[in-house]
Structure 1
Amino acid sequence: MSQLSDAVLNGASAEEIENAPLPDDYLALHLRAEDVDMFDGVADKDVRKSLRLGTVPLPELAPDEVLVAVMASSINYNTVWSAMFEPLPTFRFLKQNARQGGWATRHDQPYHVVGSDCSGVVVRTGSGVRRWKVGDHVVVHPVQADDQEPASQADAVLGEEQRAWGFETNFGALAEYGVVRASQLVPKPAHLTWEEAASNPLCAGTAYRMLVSDRGARMKQGDIVLIWGAAGGLGAYAIQFVKNGGGVPVAVVSSERKAEAVRALGCDIVINRAELGITNDLSDDPQQVIEAGKRLGKLIIERAGREPDIVFEHTGRATFGISVFVARRGGTVVTCGSSSGYQHSFDNRYLWMRLKKIIGSHAANLQEQWETHRLFERGDVVPAMSAVYPLADAAEACRVVQTSRQVGKIAVLCMAPRTGLGVTDPELRARIGEDRLNPLRGLTPRTSGT
């Protein structure tokens, strides 16, 4: 352990942290460029085989960047895609980034440090950083925007050069240190532990933009919202935003264990995929898609009173045709991903003749992330964390997500030596209550598996 990490863990002053020397390298979960072909012709692309835990060189900071001692991180599906080298190796993203020149060239390395969620302590600031200082407790907004791009001034995720940190950039969160732009920082909620705080930014910000932002579905009170994959990270936050905004969440899950999880989040209407007869990908059979949509629509009307105003989509190919069919006349399908496949098929008659809308949504801009953050600060929205792994077992945690065995989010302790640390407002935590803050804790069992 370095002198700097010792200072951070021992609660040293900002001056002591700043005076502690930087290490030459640091421990990080990363991919190697020489491995990109390892899964060619392999059916089970087990991410535990491609993710490596080892030391990498500590990069120099650009003037607008900060170095964060990562106390905790969490697993997102973009790390699973990265580790499978699908839909293409992320080393291509790093090369594209480097073509901008200047400080961006650092990202093109034979290794890629992955991870897009982080809570931690600022330990260095670049010469151009004004609003943040060494010692600040932060979480990291996962979008790196180009503030010199005109489109970014309207909405940062519209810029051509915006990138997902730790996916399309290097020096990500599943490590002892992370390199981020000052424009990615958000204050850590003082009542949350490091691992709770690290579970939120990417999925919560994404779900907020999809549902609440004026750039998303613009959910209003009384809206019925169908949520696919409701027990996952995105779904767990979507349920809370719908409930918080006066809507009616309708959760679709794949098991009774996951049904238990969404009920713990306050979702009263839960549909098991088995009720729909969806056991595999129906997307190549248009008639089966329509029949499954009819069954789903009937269940929603029986339990919620009418068809959904909004369909919250991120599963993609396996469900998208059903989503377009089942949304009410004039309703909205909002999508941010395609974990079951990118090539979607749907009957366009049910889109154009019933005046429905499809909205593509990606991550969040910094303003939306701060609006999301305010809800966590008040305790109106709580972490969706269900399990905590050490950094040494982060590849196993990724495998759990890859095989869809998780509920909510899986956190990873990076520099934090144990759970429960990082709380600086214990009074607020006590008022909100441990049970309220951890509704999913323990629902992802810490077991190995395929």
Structure 2
Amino acid sequence: MTLAQAVVDGADPEELARLDVPTTFRAAHTRKGEVGMFGRSRHGVNGVDKDITRSVHVGEVPMPELGPNEVLVAVMASAINFNTVWTAMFEPIPTFAFLERFGREDPRHDKDFHVLGSDASGVIVRMGAAVRHWKIGDRVVVSPAYVDEQDPISHSDSMLGSDLRAWGFETNYGGLAEFAVVKSTQLLAKPGHLTWEEAACNMLCASTAYRMLVSERGSRMKQGDVVLIWGATGGLGAYGVQLVRNGGGIPVGVVSSAEKAELLRRMGCEHVVDRSQFEHLGDEKSWRRFGAEVRRQVGEDPHIVFEHTGQDTFGASVYVARRGGSVVTCGSSSGYDHAYDNRHLWMKLKRIVGSHGANYQECHEVNRLLSLGLLHPTLSAVYPLAETGAAARAVQLNEHVGKVGVLALAPAEDLGVEDHALRERVGEDRLRLFRGWS
């Protein structure tokens, strides 16, 4: 019996420890030799879209050795994040540049392939000599921050560490594979009431949203705060809506269609702005109309604007935030070159808060909310590992809502549930709200 099959069959820890680790495994990866395949322009060669089904490959890669503070996780399921799309587009720079730089410290990562993926759920099958608190056979989810625990700043906030890396984006051997190499400081216990694919889709986006909204390092949302959430049915926004509602805030979700607006209302988000009603958001006249719609619905301007779209929306975000309010940003999916009228920032004493990922404690808090059934997965579609390119393409084209999952070793969906009683209390309607909406 192979190690992978033993995990699927639910073998006990002793048997998992006895079986040999394979010398190769299947993984979704990009190839260094294809870095120039799309050309240098944002839209690819001669304006043709960068179709990442051409750059994402699924095949055998060699198994690396473990470091002393690492574990080998047999991956049951994973998920697509936008950093996977950036990697496959080779934008804004090819991630092989990250791996080459990291390779000067750890040559294992500097290869002619890059195994993708910054989310995963699975089973620990091997541990380095320095790993404590975990054991072979533990069911885990993986948080994405790959930090240097020997850096002093990490003991204050690891997201400030100079060697902070996003696992599966700035490191090799990520989660879109049958096996993944993970630091022990990334591990959290899998929520028992979730399936493998439901458990795999949360940590990157939910923890990022938590830091942006709830953490003392973010916008410090309080009860009654009006929070404008761009892309409110997307991977980040849908967790943002839940966190705002849980914390006593008033979410105002921005979406791009009537169908997504209906999904938001089913989530309990009463106030919804359909972005398709606004032709563009590139000048003050359009910002004023947009802000008027928010005030019409809630009677006041937002205390917080939850930003991750970037170039297309940032000017509007700065404008519509109330006097003394804040814009908290963690990304720029529509482009990094932001333009806004600075008078509306300084004269009205607004703040822009930069936020990136989440530290281990923040991830722990998010996983606790998930484990208690107070925060729910936003999984909308699931693909097999062999179709990772198509899964990532759906995210690239914004043809999805919530999160898109990928089955790795799990042979089918709906496996891995241990706490059936909690699942029944939470309810299938809440856990599967996003399914079928892609």
Q: TM-score with structure 2 length normalisation?
A: 0.98
Secondary structure of 2:405's counterpart equals strand
**Equivalent position of 2:114 in the other structure:** 112
Deviates more, 1:109-118 or 1:143-152: 143-152
The percentage of aligned residue pairs carrying the same residue is 58
1:361: how far off?
0.3
**Equivalent position of 2:359 in the other structure:** 365
Determine whether 1:133 maps to 2:129: no
- Alpha-carbon separation, structure 2, partners of 1:346 and 1:91: 33
Aligned counterparts, 1:31-180, within 5 A: 31-40=30-39, 41-42=44-45, 43-100=48-105, 104-180=106-182
**Equivalent position of 1:13 in the other structure:** 12
Determine whether 1:311 maps to 2:305: yes
Determine whether 1:299 maps to 2:293: yes
Write out per-residue CA displacement over residues 297-347 of structure 1, whole angstroms, 9 at most, x where no aligned residue: 111111111000000000000000000000000000000000000010110
| Partner amino acid, structure 2, of 1:195 | E
| Partner amino acid, structure 2, of 1:175 | A
| Partner amino acid, structure 2, of 1:67 | L
Secondary structure of 2:53's counterpart equals helix
| Partner amino acid, structure 2, of 1:33 | K
Name structure 1 gaps, 5 residues minimum.
284-288, 445-450
**Equivalent position of 2:263 in the other structure:** 261
Secondary structure of 2:153's counterpart equals helix
Name structure 2 gaps, 5 residues minimum.
none
1:274: how far off?
2.1
- Alpha-carbon separation, structure 2, partners of 1:201 and 1:292: 35
Secondary structure of 1:48's counterpart equals coil
| Partner amino acid, structure 2, of 1:62 | G
1:180: how far off?
0.4
1:167: how far off?
0.1
Secondary structure of 2:414's counterpart equals coil
Secondary structure of 1:49's counterpart equals coil
Write out per-residue CA displacement over residues 71-96 of structure 1, whole angstroms, 9 at most, x where no aligned residue: 00000000000000000000000011
1:276: how far off?
2.4
Secondary structure of 2:400's counterpart equals coil
Aligned counterparts, 1:282-297, within 5 A: 282-283=281-282, 289-297=283-291
- Alpha-carbon separation, structure 1, partners of 2:323 and 2:101: 42
- Alpha-carbon separation, structure 2, partners of 1:405 and 1:436: 22
**Equivalent position of 2:416 in the other structure:** 422
- Alpha-carbon separation, structure 1, partners of 2:53 and 2:382: 17
- Alpha-carbon separation, structure 2, partners of 1:85 and 1:377: 36
- Alpha-carbon separation, structure 2, partners of 1:397 and 1:312: 26
CA contact (8 A) 1:228 1:313 kept: yes
**Equivalent position of 1:448 in the other structure:** none
Number of residue pairs matched? 432
Among 334, 338, 341, the alignment partner of 2:328 is 334
CA contact (8 A) 1:165 1:172 kept: yes
- Alpha-carbon separation, structure 1, partners of 2:127 and 2:415: 24
Determine whether 1:385 maps to 2:379: yes
Write out per-residue CA displacement over residues 377-400 of structure 1, whole angstroms, 9 at most, x where no aligned residue: 111110000111111111101000
| Partner amino acid, structure 2, of 1:395 | G
Write out per-residue CA displacement over residues 18-57 of structure 1, whole angstroms, 9 at most, x where no aligned residue: 1011101000000000000000052300100000010000
Determine whether 1:272 maps to 2:277: no
Secondary structure of 1:112's counterpart equals strand
1:275: how far off?
2.2
Q: TM-score with structure 1 length normalisation?
A: 0.95
Aligned counterparts, 1:222-241, within 5 A: 222-241=224-243
- Alpha-carbon separation, structure 2, partners of 1:275 and 1:308: 19
- Alpha-carbon separation, structure 1, partners of 2:284 and 2:366: 36
- Alpha-carbon separation, structure 2, partners of 1:82 and 1:51: 9
Deviates more, 1:261-270 or 1:412-421: 261-270
Runs in 1 of length 4+ with deviation above 4 angstroms?
A: none
- Alpha-carbon separation, structure 2, partners of 1:319 and 1:182: 38
